[in-house]
Each structure stands twice: as C-alpha cells, then as structure tokens.
Amino acid sequence: MNAKLYNVKDKLNIQTLDNHHRDVFTMIHLLDTAIQKNSREAFLPIIEFLSHHCIEHFMEEETLMKNNKFDHLKEHQMEHKKFTHKIKQITKMYNENIHTTHIAYGIRQLIDALIIHIQTVDIKMKGMTP
C-alpha cells in the first residue's frame, strides 16, 4: 500500500501541480468512503474532481511544458488525452445511472493509472519554471 502514498520524491516543486497530485492520492480515500456508503451521491465529489480539476490540471501542465519547450510534450499530451477520454466515460456512466460497482471499478483503474503517470511521466517536469 506504500506505493499509493504521496511521497516527497513525487514532488515537482511547482505548488499548484503538486497540490493537484496530492489530491489524486486523496481520492483513494474518497473512493473507499463512497464504496462503504454505497450511495450514488457519495461518488459525486470524485466525479466533479475528475471532470473539472483533472482536466484543468492537464491543460496547466501542457501550458507549462510549452512555455519550457519540453521535449516530450506530444507523448505527454497523448496520455492526457487517454485520461480525458476515460474521465468522460466514467462521467457518462454516472449520469446514465449505471450501477456504482462499475463506476467504482472505472475510478479505481483511473486513479491507479494517474498515480503511475504522476510518478513516471509528470516527474519529468521537475525543475521547470512555473
């Protein structure tokens, strides 16, 4: 479970991005709570976080990479695109009243993938100037 904790080595020293990354780790707890409560409403904060903060976060990163003339911008953008697509799928499932078990499973997969992205892809932005 240790790999699922936000670690100081994951920090980019770019305040807004680091705060958002920390929030991704916090979502693990939000998801556990939502599953325990077993109510659709409990999933709403996660859906909102994903569809607003995550998407804005991707744009913020991409702007920073452009400004810093980052070499791996294209491949990074491709990953963000995949996440955005997955987020839209999850939001659609939620809006269409699909059973929360499926939504929880989709969110779990997404969180795991986002954490790997933070630790292996985002980390390459370390040292950039905001």
Interface segment toward Fe ion; rule CB under 5 A; list 35-43, 44-52, 90-98, 117-125: 117-125
- HSE-up (13 A, CA, CB side) for residue 107: 31
Interface segment toward Fe ion; rule CB under 5 A; list 1-9, 32-40, 82-90, 122-130: 122-130
The three state secondary structure string of 50-78 is HHHHHHHHHHHHHHHHHHCCCCCHHHHHH
When asked if residue 115 is in the footprint of Fe ion (CB under 5 A), the reply is no
- HSE-up (13 A, CA, CB side) for residue 50: 27
Using the minimum distance from each CB to Fe ion, give the nearer residue, 34 or 57: 57
Answer yes or no: are the C-beta atoms of 110 and 41 closer than 8 Å.
no
Interface segment toward Fe ion; rule CB under 5 A; list 28-36, 43-51, 61-69, 100-108: 61-69
When asked if residue 61 is in the footprint of Fe ion (CB under 5 A), the reply is yes
When asked if residue 122 is in the footprint of Fe ion (CB under 5 A), the reply is yes
Answer yes or no: are the C-beta atoms of 114 and 83 closer than 8 Å.
yes
At closest approach, how far in Å is the CB of 76 from Fe ion? 6
Torsion of CA 94, 55, 25, 92, to 10 degrees: 10
At closest approach, how far in Å is the CB of 98 from Fe ion? 27
Judged by the rule CB under 5 A, the positions of this chain that interact with Fe ion are 61, 122
